[in-house]
Amino acid sequence: MGAMSPPSRLSSLPSWLLTQLARHAQRLVSAGFAGAGARGYHYRLLAALREFGPTSQAELGRWCAIDRSDVVAAINELAAAGYVSRSPDPVDRRRNIVEITPAGERQAARLDEAVDGVQDELLAPLSAAERRQLTALLGRLLDHHAPPH
């Protein structure tokens, strides 16, 4: 017997639909990153370092919304792979400055490709215009519900 459809009441609730799609998207993203030998935290950290440049571990965690202990573990993994380097902050020797390496740039590019593939798979039934519209609408919702700074 095939999978049953959800009750019509559920399938008409945007919150339920978003939750179900988020679960599926997370599985796709995890599989895409695993295929590139990475995890989601790795991509977020490398992307932030590419965009904003060298910074402290604490600032990097804030930018990426990653808990401090998880940032340290992920940076340790990235450093062990040669994707980032750490050095003492010349202004405050208690802090480490994290910087992406050339190998990290190449890994970030591989992860970009994995993410692009996931987006294509996830949004396959939508046209390019519908993808842009969905992205804009989701962004508006997220902005509306984001906690104030």
Query: Could you tell me if residue 90 is inside a domain?
Result: yes
Domain range for 70 is 29-117
Query: Could you tell me if residue 60 is inside a domain?
Result: yes
DSSP 83: S
What confidence score (pLDDT) does residue 139 get? Answer: 95
CATH assignment of the domain containing 59: 1.10.10.10
Query: Could you tell me if residue 71 is inside a domain?
Result: yes
Report the chain's mean pLDDT, rounded to a whole number: 92
Identity (one letter) of the amino acid at 91?
V
The structural domain count of the chain equals: 1
* Measured distance CA(81)–CA(61) in Å, rounded: 19
Residue with tokens 């508006």: 140
Query: Could you tell me if residue 131 is inside a domain?
Result: no
Query: Could you tell me if residue 113 is inside a domain?
Result: yes
pLDDT in tens, 39-60: 989 999 999 999 999 999 999 9
Query: Could you tell me if residue 142 is inside a domain?
Result: no
Query: Could you tell me if residue 146 is inside a domain?
Result: no
